[in-house]
Amino acid sequence: MGEPLCSRPAHQEVIEVLYYGLCSVHARRRRSPNRLLARDGSAQFIQFLASLLLLSSALIGCNRSDPIVVIQLHPTNPDIMYVATNDYIYKTRDGGRTWANLSRGMSHSRVIAMAIDPAYPATVYAGMKGDAVYKSYDGGQRWTSMRTGLDDATITSVVNQFLFDPADSQHLFVATTMGVFETKHGGESWTKRMEGMKEVLMVVTLGMDPMRPSILYAGTSGGVYKSVDQAGHWEQANNGLVPTQMVKTSRALNVTAVLADPFESDTVYAATLSGVYKTTDAAKSWTRIGESLADQMIVAMVVDRARKGVLYLAGRDGVHRSEDGGMTWKTVNNGFASTNVRSIAQSATDEKLFYAGTNGSGLYRSRDAGETWELMPPVVEK
């Protein structure tokens, strides 16, 4: 049987995504109604709404604890991690035994993306829902707004993800509901990078080729786009993923993660709200995998950094692991009180250490690559 229905309304965080997403489309229509209608059509607006409502129904959870929206792990210190709930950012310095609330000084907008500077881990970025980007230079103690260049999108934009250039940690990209933006000086200013991405408005996720960092992938409201010059120009890469005639009219918010294999960079995985796809030719063509999974709505994905062909998927049905590149799958939910999983992360210091955040039963840790999960202390400030 499924989980019992809750007495309170649907997940507030998803309702706000719906609100801001609709505002984004509405704002663009007001600025250039004829061009946008020609590009998107009214059908995209309606199907965008339907997809968001579907996502909201998937993320409803009984609020036994705050939903864990983001898990961000320190690159070198396993005792330090950040999580974002619907309301606050928390940090632990003792492996999750105690937590401190770091949201003071920020706006009331919710955080749905975080990133730690790999070269200077005291520097932390937070992507907001409707209030651009905040940056901290001292591990989250103080925050500074970094919105220059994002001002035209500040009210309606949702910052979904950060992506660092491995050669220069001052060089970042963000995926937002208003497109891809780039900074070359640590967020001091941002420049929009959407050339060639004419058919879509929203960018949900970004991925980078680990061996050729000039190659980027963008998961959007119309499938996947690819750039070979670090977002200078984008081209559609939807063969087998999204039919050409549907790019402008369907799959709003469909691609939730796009990740290149660290061992074979031409192999890329795309998690969507309608299944999982794989390419072995750098996105020239895609093949659907994981069709045996009972739930095809995937909200998070990890490609194992240490074991070739191993990947993890998370969603309403918990966590699933494949050890053969997606051909077969094993459900790894032992220890979860609720299988409605929202976020998942692999430690950078211990390949078998994973964390999973749920939509109602708290934060979990696995020390054996997902075979068993243990509930961690509540993510609240004491």
What's the pLDDT tens digit per position in 74-85? 999 999 999 999
Q: How many domains does the chain have?
A: 1
Q: pLDDT class for 266, splitting at 50, 70, 90?
A: very high
Q: Does pLDDT of 16 surpass 90?
A: no
Q: Give the whole-angstrom CA distance, residue 165 versus residue 177.
A: 21
Q: What share of the chain is helix, strand, coil (3-state, %, to 5)?
A: 15, 35, 50
Residue 4, domain member (yes or no):
no
Q: pLDDT class for 67, splitting at 50, 70, 90?
A: very high
Residue 370, domain member (yes or no):
no
Q: Does pLDDT of 3 surpass 90?
A: no
As to burial, measured by CB atoms within 10 angstroms (0-12 exposed, 13-18 middle, 19+ buried), residue 369 is buried
Residue 155, domain member (yes or no):
no
Q: Find the Cα–Cα–Cα–Cα dihedral 119, 192, 132, 221, rounded to 10°.
A: -100
Q: Give the whole-angstrom CA distance, residue 61 versus residue 67.
A: 8
Within 8 A by CB and 6+ apart from 93, the residues are 79, 80, 100
Position 50 scores a pLDDT of: 52
Q: Give the whole-angstrom CA distance, residue 218 versus residue 333.
A: 30
- Which among 107, 199, 194, 198 has a CA at the least distance from the CA of 144? 107
pTM value is 0.83
Q: 231-235 long-range CB contacts below 8 Å, 24 or more apart?
A: 231/173, 231/180, 231/182, 231/193, 232/193, 232/195, 233/195, 233/196, 234/180, 234/194, 234/195, 234/196, 234/197, 235/196
* Enclosing domain of residue 13: 9-60
Residue 23, domain member (yes or no):
yes
**Contact at 8 Å (CB) between 142 and 191?**
no
Residue 51, domain member (yes or no):
yes
Residue 361, domain member (yes or no):
no
Q: Which residue has the higher pLDDT, 49 or 188?
A: 188
Q: Report how far apart, in Å, the C-alpha atoms of 3 and of each of 337, 353, 355 are.
A: 10, 27, 22
Residue 149, domain member (yes or no):
no
Q: Which residue has the higher pLDDT, 227 or 105?
A: 227
Residue 14, domain member (yes or no):
yes
- Which among 273, 271, 283, 313 has a CA at the least distance from the CA of 212? 283
